[in-house]
Structure 1
Amino acid sequence: MKVYFIGAGPGDPELITVKGQRLLKEAEVVIYAGSLVNPALLGWARPEARIYDSSSLTLEEIIDLMEEAVRKGQKVARLHTGDTSLYSAIQEQIEALEARGIPYEIVPGVSSFSAAAAAVRKEFTLPGQSQTLILTRRAGRTPVPEAESLAALSVHRASLCLFLSAHCLKEATQELATGYGLEAPAALVYKASWPEEKILYGSLADIADRAQKEGIERTALLLVGDFLRGRGQRSRLYHPAFSHGFRRKKDEASHHHLDETGS
């Protein structure tokens, strides 16, 4: 048996992956990030499963629970919000498990940035607009390298999704305005994919004030960039004048047809 780090998705219980749901149903022990993971997901767990909320536990206590279960031949489902590769603090758990010789596997999930894009009905990467997405956070108790400051990143004017910064939006928007400008379009998505999801639209000049009026101080993502205007060029992938390995452009297809028929 082993520990399974499972990306539980952004909130909607149906946005957990098929594999993640299967492993959650099979696990004898479930450890979930109670401050962020939707407790509705626990409905997939076995009635007799031992369930622990990790929000009140230390790393050492979490690893002890994992080790005890695996040594007994039990499967452990470790639920993290969104996708495990982003702001999930799994690396320190992985290193602790490896030090104790405990096997593990990582099961990716749907990130909240994907759910936020779906909520605002936009695509981060628009032809002729932006082909880069920046996922970042503002420095707080967890520092951020100086080269990755919001002011430094803003000069790229790429599509951007800001995590873990809803409590300091005023400062964050001022720093982002360095490169984007105050009139850059912005959207704040609160609890993306949850029943209480809320979306605020504005610009870097006013989105923080809008959030304050709504009382939003956590569990929200800030989206910034021209992709929110939805004015990119048409994709070449489906353009009739563009050919690729699976389709000839229309004039080529017509000539090919004429050659074959002799018309």
Structure 2
Amino acid sequence: MPKVYFVGCGPGDPDLITIKAKKIIQKADVVVYSGSLIPTQILNFCKKAKLHDASKLVREEIFEILKQNAKKNKIVVRLHDGDPSIYGAIKEQIDNLQPEGIESEVVPGVTSFLASAAALGMQLTLPGVTQTIIITRAESRTKVPKEEKISELAKHKATMIFYLSVHLIPKIVKQAIEGGYATLTPVAVVYRASWNDQKIITGTLTDITKKVRDEKITRTAIIIIGDVIQPKSYEYSKLYDKTFSHGFRKAKIKLQ
């Protein structure tokens, strides 16, 4: 059966592409890639493929390239930055291929919010602080359901992660505070996580907007809001506690 591979190539650093993803693009005949979001070093892995820059194409043109080449039994790859399942628009592509009898396979990749956390050397969930991560985007041309407004999500005071929104950071800050975050809640902005020109900006909801504007960052950045960035205190994990038993280890000390 004809097939199209939807491949996540990671956040930017070519060493962070998965082995499976690299093997597929090395043998690909046709690769449709996400413009400037894919580093040259990763495109160089496409040893024999004809390359198509999706940033210069409209949806119907992308569909046609994928369909026509898959029907010729070529190895066809739709190459996405990060992971295809996060803001990757793969659903519409898969649904367009299916009626044509073309199979789809999704190959996951390291997404940029995880590369951002790694760059910060931080843990996104901490016992005693939060056990929840909210991944979202600020509303702009793409509308957000009313229940998912930033001020509503902020009520949870969880770790909030924003994609595709750094140009709207004043709006994010305003609505995060309206939702209940303290003005001194830590914020981190990671520009082009894992790329050679990566930048990290840290601050609070009070000063992060000015810091980001001073650096002239308007795109390709992840925003993280939450006390996990600089926790005043937190609890140790129960998993390795000497008083805690689980399926692979009995407690060393019994609680009285």
For normalisation by structure 1, the TM-score amounts to 0.93
For the residue of structure 1 that corresponds to 2:214, the secondary structure is: helix
CA deviation after TM superposition for structure 1 residue 84, in Å: 1.1
| Unpaired runs of at least 5, structure 1 | 253-263
Equivalent in the alignment of 1:127: 127
Rounded to whole Å, the distance in 1 between the matches of 2:78 and 2:16 is: 16
- Alignment partner of 1:33 is 2:34: yes
Alignment of 1:1-263 (within 5 A): 1-46=2-47, 48-178=48-178, 179-230=180-231, 231-251=233-253
Residue aligned with 1:186, SS: strand
Three-state SS of the structure 1 residue aligned to 2:140 is: coil
Partners of 1:67 and 1:84 in 2: how far apart? 19
Aligned partner letter, 1:87? Y
Other structure's SS at 1:248 match:
coil
- Displacement of 1:187 in angstroms is 0.6
d(CA) in 2 for partners of 1:223, 1:149: 16
* Worse-matched range after superposition: 136-145 or 170-179: 170-179
Quick one: percent identity of the two aligned structures?
43
Large movers: runs of 4+ above 4 Å: none
Output one character per residue of 1:144-178: Cα deviation in whole Å (capped at 9) or x when no partner: 00110101100100011111111111111111112
Summarize deviations over 1:106-133 as a string: whole Å, max 9, x none: 1111111100110111111101110000
The answer for unaligned runs of 5 or more in structure 2 is none
Q: CA deviation at 1:35?
A: 3.3
- Report the TM-score when normalising by structure 2: 0.95
Structure 1 residue identity aligned to 2:252: K
| Map of 1:260 onto structure 2 | none
Name the CA distance, whole Å, in 2 between partners of 1:251 and 1:201.
Answer: 41
Distance, in Å, in 2 between the alignment partners of 1:104 and 1:39 is 25
The aligned amino acid for 1:148 is E
What's the CA shift string for 1:61-114, capped at 9, x where partnerless?
111111121111111111111111110111111111112221111111111110
SS in 1 for 2:41: helix
Structure 1 SS opposite 2:44: helix
Distance in 2 between the 1:11 and 1:84 partners? 14
CA distance in 2, matches of 1:164, 1:45: 27
Structure with higher Rg: it is 1
**C-alpha distance in 2 between matches for 1:73 and 1:24:** 15
